[in-house]
Amino acid sequence: MTMLDVQTLLDGITVGGYKISDQNMVLNHADAWKKLLPLSPKIASLSQKMLL
Q: What is the pLDDT of residue 49?
A: 63
Domain extent, residue 43, equals 3-51
Taking only the tens place, the pLDDT of each residue in 6-30 is 999 999 999 999 999 999 999 999 9
Contact between residue 48 and residue 28 where contact means Cβ atoms under 8 Å apart: no
**Is residue 42 very low, low, confident or very high in pLDDT (cuts 50, 70, 90)?**
confident
Give how many domains the chain has, as a whole number: 1
Task: Return mean pLDDT, the chain.
Answer: 84
For the whole model, what pTM was predicted? 0.69
HSE-CB for 49 with a 13 A CA cutoff: 6
